[in-house]
Structure 1
Amino acid sequence: MTAPLRKRLRRPPLSSTRTFQPTMTAPLRTRPRCLPLSSSATSQPTMMAPIRERPRRLVSTQTRRIVEFSRESPIPSYAILSHRWEEGQEVSLQDMLDLSPAIEQRSGFQKIVNACAQALRDGHSYIWVDTCCINKQDPRGEEQDINSMYAYYWNSVVCYVYLNDFWMTRRPLSLWFPDFRNMVFESSSWFTRGWTLQELLAPSSVRFFTADWKFYGDKKHLGDIIERVTEIPRRFFNRKNIQGAALIEKMSWSVDRETTKPEDCAYCLLGILGVTMKTKYGEGVERAFERLYDMLRMRFPDTERIGPFIARKPNVLLELQLHKLDHDQGGLSRMFDGSIVDYGRHSVIDGTDPKQYISSHWLPEFLRTWLWHESSKGYLSLSEAQWF
C-alpha cells in the first residue's frame, strides 16, 4: 500500500528517580475532546521482557572500544548517536570486536570515530551507537533493545544527529543565505526515516551536525524548521508534552516514513506509545500495525482515544493514512461534507455508482486503489458503508 506523499529543556538529573518510566503509570493527558482514561487504562501492559532504562553496552569515547556493564554495575551517563544507516558501510558489534584495516576504512567506522571525538570534546566518556552496541546475533537481546530504544534515547545526556547528506563545505556556513541553508537542512533524508522519529522526540537535548561534523543547531532553536518538515507540532519537541498527543496522532507520525524493514514502521512507535510487543520480522507492516493496535487496546481500554475504529478489527494502517491525509489536506472532510470516512455513505446517499464516484473525485493513489478494490467486493452498499 503506497503511503501518501510527504509535504515537505533543561536536562533532568540522571538519578534513578528521574529516568524514563516505561510503564507510564501516570495518566496520559489528552486533548479536551478525548474522554478521560478509565482507572484500568493506567495498568501496566503485558511485557515479553523487562525494559532496560539504559543500555548495558557502550562505546568508550577515548579508546573507541566496546565496554559492557554487568547487571549489577551502574550505567554511567552517555551521549547517543542518531544517523541514517548506509548499506554495506555500517560496523556491527562483531566488527568492533575484530577490527581490521578494511573495517576502519568504512564510512560507518569513521562516523563512530567522529561521534566519539565530539562526545569527548563535550566531556562525555561514553556514547551509544545502535549499529555496534546491539548484538544482532542474539535475537532475544535485539528484541529487548528494540523495545528499550526509546528509554535509551530518553536517558541520554545528549543526542548527536549526523546528517550524512547535508554538505556545506565549499564555503563557510555563515556565507550562505539562511533560507537556502535551511532548505538543504530540511531536505535531509534523516527526516524521512522511521527510527529517527523517536530519536528526535525522546532526548532532552538534540544537536544536528553536517556531513563534515560542523554543528548546525539544536532541536530547540531549529524547532520551526523541524515542525515544517516533520509536520509534528513544535510543542511535542518538549518531551514532557508528548503524553498530551492523541494516540492516533502519535501513530500517524510514522505512516509516511521509510524503514528498511516494513515492520519497523510500527515497531519504531513502541516507546512513543508506551507499549512493548514481540518483534516478528516478515509478518508485514499491516499485521505489525494490527498487533500494535491490539496492544494499545489492552493498554488503554478506552478505544475512543485510539481513533474512530470499529468493533471488528479495522485496517489500522489505512485508518492512520486517512488520519494523516486529513491533516495534510487541511481537513479532507470538507471535500465530502463530513468526516473522511463518509465518502462511502456519500456515494450511496447521492445515488452515485461507487466506481464512478471514485473516478470523478480527487483521491490519493493508495486510497483510490483500496476503495476500488472494496467497491468491487460490494462493500460500499448502504448497509456496509457505515463501518468504513
Structure 2
Amino acid sequence: MRLINTSTLKLEEFGPQNIPPYAILSHRWIEGQEVSFEEMRQSPPRGKSGYAKIKQCCELAKKEGLTFAWGRFHHRGVLNLSKVSIAERMSWASQRQTSREEDMSYSLLGIFRINMNLLYGEGGGEAFRRLQEEIIKTSNDNSIFAWNQIETRSPARLSALATTLSQFAQSSRIPVIPAGPTWPTTLTNEAINVRLVFKEIRGRRYGIIKSDSLHSLWDYAIPLEEISPNTYVRLRGQVLVMKSRRFYDAPAWKVW
C-alpha cells in the first residue's frame, strides 16, 4: 500500500503486515486538475488545485499526529476492483497484524472505497462490524457472508457478519455473488435482510446465497438456525460450496 508522508509529501510503500495509521483525503478531482500517481512519484504538479488539496490534507493530518495520508490518485490504467469479490479482498488481509486493533479495518477503507470515521478506542471488533455494514450499504456483492468459523471454542450461534478478518482466510476463491436489483440485500438497525433459499443438508438447515447471474457455476450454503418466524442466526461451521442448480425451493426474504 502506498501512502503520502505528511512531512515530505513523498510516497512510501508498506507491506500488508506493517501499514501505519493514516488520514484519508476525501474529495472529487476537478477536470484537468487531478494528480496522477506518476506525477506524485516523479514531479508533483504544484500548480494544480488537486496538489493543493493533498498538501492541505497532509497539514491537517500532521496536526492530528498522523505521519501518513492516503488519497485516490488518477491513474492512466485502472485496476477494476469491482471484479474482485468482497470475500477475496478480505482474504488478502486475513493474516495482517497491526499495532492498533482498529487499524485492521481502517487500513482496508481504500480497497473497498469506503469512507467512515476513525474512532480509536472502539475496539477491533466494532471497527470491523462498522466496515462491513458500510460495505453492504454500497455493494450488492453477497460474498461478504461467505466466511468460515470452525473454531470449536467459539459460540454455537454467530452473527451474520464476521467478527475477525481471519475468518476470510479461506475465501480467496469466492467470486462476486451479485444480489441484483430484484433481491437487494438491505441493512436495518436490527438485522440484515438477504435473499436465501433453504435446503436441508445432512440433517442441518442451510441458507443458500443465490447469484442473480444465470452463468454462476457455484452456490454457497451457510448453516442457519431459525429462532423465530422468518428470523435466523448463523451457526458455527463451514460454508459449503455446491454445484449451482437453477431450481430450489421457492426463494424468499429472510432476516438474520
Give the TM-score, by structure 2 length.
0.41
Which one has the bigger strand percentage? Answer: 2
Q: Which has the larger radius of gyration?
A: 1
Which one has the bigger helix percentage? Answer: 1
Give the TM-score, by structure 1 length.
0.30
